[in-house]
Structure 1
Amino acid sequence: MSDTELLAQRFEEHRPRLRAVARRMLGSPAEAEDAVQDTWLRLSRVDAEGIDNLPGWLTTTVGRVCLDRLGSSASRHEQSADVVADEPGRADPDEVDPEREALLTESVGRALDVVLRTLGPTERLVFVLHDMFAVSFDELAPVVDRSPAAVRQVASRARRRVQSGPAAPETDPARQRGIVEAFLAASREGRFDDLLTLLDPHVVLRFDAAAVRRGGTDAAHGSAVVAAFFSGRAQGAVPAVVDAAPGAAVVLDGRVHIVLSFVVTDRIIGIEVVADPAQIAALDLVVG
């Protein structure tokens, strides 16, 4: 086996971890795979024999790749439906409902993903690598071009923001649907105050590239901004289920043109707008 093949084999052993880091950073399975591939390309161009700690080098490198992507205006963000987060254990394991557990796990992952998106790129990188993947402040310092002490402060600030985010995902499908339907009705009728009531103060609204071309923006943050955007809109939107999450679809002439998916706790904390036909076709979509 050649040196290149041996290096590729070692890289593949770390791929799942690198993919997990990238998904938390970028929120998109497709972009995460691209970031992991970029990391492999960077590894293949250096002298691997000179790397003392390959796992650490790969983790910080994929983080740097993700940081570059987050800083690029061309970066698109897709809601990841398969990021897993842990739920606190129950007192009686015999009471576990597998279907409800699956819904809660997915909801927690979605909620955390939305909260992470409220962080700036550097805060997100530091929080993900240090708090979630145990990368030391000394290792992170050169990645973000700051001292270890400054990185520690960034991590502390990011941690406070994450901990103040929503912590109790709504898992009752009927209640989720009711919140989304109330939001759509308030949007159609231009009831700005009702929209504010239904939106979390730190709600995040994101559009795919196709939706941006139709008049959206790359992202919007905060209930007032998101309520203002939706007030008087959603005229053609009908409730839907999008990848097992509450959502809506705009259907014209029998064809779905736009899909909206929502992350719901006691209020709406995240909205994704997808207009790319290929992305829509890939969704598990039930309209009505």
Structure 2
Amino acid sequence: MDSAAIDRFEAGRGRLASLAYRLLGSAADAEDAVQDTFLRWQAADRERIEVPEAWLTKVLTNVCLDRLRSAHARHERSAGAWLPEPLLDGDPMLGPADTFEQRESVSLAVLTLLERLSPVERAVYVLREAFSYGHAEIAGILDITESASQQHLHRARNRVAAERRGGGVEADPASARRVVEEFLAAAMSGRTDRLVALLTDDVTAVSDGAGLARRLLRVTTRERVASFVRAGFKPTPAKRRLAGGSLSLHIAPVNGGPAVLAVVDGRVVGAVAFAVGDGRVTSLHGIATADRLTRLNEAWRRHAPEEPVVGTW
């Protein structure tokens, strides 16, 4: 392949990676999908490709759809043991963040909701909401009609809206962080009543159980979530042994929202991402499976973190 063809692909790599991440919810899988697309670009008769960006988008999207439809992916995701991979803000894989829809489409809460859509519904939703493709373009990418694209988008929007917590209203980042700081202080002090007050009536908490459980742990109702969080944030010798030492707790922006990161010797061993709306927590997603934190850790090592909110846990 000549250098011009390589340069053309590399110029669009970031956009392809951010599209793949939204479609797959995994940075590692997204990187694999981009590499598969590069190999197909390398093997293609590029002289016959009139619009390289459109061709690459179509190939990448269909590579991702094949992965979503694979037997392995269906088993892993339907088994209830899957959560999106969290990324530290500033990661180029998070992609465009100019509009509320683009920022929301990469939040852990919405990425989790997208798991409930069919692969085609997910693709239409992401292409339209995050990348502003028209229905004619989406139809060409997915080999469907414009009418089908519109129907898929309508169903996807309805399903996301029906299950979205907080009404889809964007919280001011500074205000959201203050809510999480207060929430963490209440959790550490054991003030369960204050935790309850900081939760919405329809709050949900989801955790991967540090990879120790076969299924995700899901908790609903304010009182149960408050008790679950209090138990999770209560330090014990067993938790320190499992984490590999004494932890510090930091608040950092992850996937466009505030998250509490548990850090041991400069290594992130757990992340709890918060969705905040109208001054209260609408959902929590806890991730501590090591291979889901690989890319976040790479970014954290390059990051100059603020002083921890809790120095020794």
Normalising by structure 2, report the TM-score: 0.63
Displacement of 1:178 in angstroms is 1.4
Give 2:178's match in structure 1, choosing from 168, 174, 179. 174
SS of the residue corresponding to residue 171 of structure 1 reads helix
Given that 1:22 and 1:62 are in contact with CA atoms closer than 8 Å, whether structure 2 keeps it comes out as: yes
Displacement of 1:177 in angstroms is 1.5
Q: Is 1:116 aligned with 2:110?
A: yes
Number of the residue aligned with 2:250: 241
SS of the residue corresponding to residue 213 of structure 2 reads coil
Displacement of 1:232 in angstroms is 7.5
Distance 2:60 2:205 in 1: 25
SS of the residue corresponding to residue 267 of structure 1 reads strand
Displacement of 1:11 in angstroms is 1.0
- Identify if the C-alpha distance between structure 1 residues 115 and 223 changes in structure 2 by more than 3 Å, giving closer, same or farther: same
Give 1:262's match in structure 2, choosing from 252, 269, 273. 273
Distance 2:125 2:200 in 1: 25
Q: Is 1:77 aligned with 2:105?
A: no
Distance 2:170 2:56 in 1: 31
Map Cα deviations across residues 21-64 of structure 1 (whole Å, 9 max, x no partner): 22333444444333221211122233223323221111122222
Distance 1:47 1:13 in 2: 19
Displacement of 1:203 in angstroms is 4.5
Number of the residue aligned with 1:105: none
Distance 2:219 2:120 in 1: 20
SS of the residue corresponding to residue 36 of structure 2 reads helix
Q: Is 1:86 aligned with 2:90?
A: no
Unaligned 5+ runs, structure 2: 240-246
Given that 1:260 and 1:274 are in contact with CA atoms closer than 8 Å, whether structure 2 keeps it comes out as: yes
Number of the residue aligned with 1:91: none
Distance 2:270 2:15 in 1: 31
Displacement of 1:185 in angstroms is 6.8
Normalising by structure 1, report the TM-score: 0.67
Given that 2:105 and 2:126 are in contact with CA atoms closer than 8 Å, whether structure 1 keeps it comes out as: no
Displacement of 1:144 in angstroms is 4.8
Superposed counterparts of 1:50-199, under 5 Å: 50-71=48-69, 72=73, 73=76, 77-80=84-87, 81-82=89-90, 83=94, 85-86=97-98, 109=103, 112-117=106-111, 118-119=113-114, 120=117, 121-141=119-139, 144=142, 146-160=144-158, 161=160, 164-172=167-175, 173-182=177-186, 198=199
Higher relative contact order (CA 8 A, sep 6+): 2
SS of the residue corresponding to residue 286 of structure 2 reads strand
Aligned-residue RMSD, C-alpha: 4.3
Question: Could you tell me which amino acid in structure 2 is paired with residue 12 of structure 1?
Answer: E
Displacement of 1:221 in angstroms is 6.7
Distance 2:141 2:203 in 1: 28
Displacement of 1:111 in angstroms is 7.5
Displacement of 1:261 in angstroms is 2.2
Map Cα deviations across residues 184-217 of structure 1 (whole Å, 9 max, x no partner): 777x97x9xx66972674757364xx932x1153
Given that 2:250 and 2:263 are in contact with CA atoms closer than 8 Å, whether structure 1 keeps it comes out as: no
Identity %: 26
Give 1:13's match in structure 2, choosing from 11, 14, 18. 11
Distance 2:52 2:227 in 1: 46
Distance 1:182 1:111 in 2: 30
- Identify if the C-alpha distance between structure 1 residues 204 and 38 changes in structure 2 by more than 3 Å, giving closer, same or farther: farther
Between 158-167 and 173-182, report the one with greater CA deviation: 158-167
SS of the residue corresponding to residue 274 of structure 2 reads strand
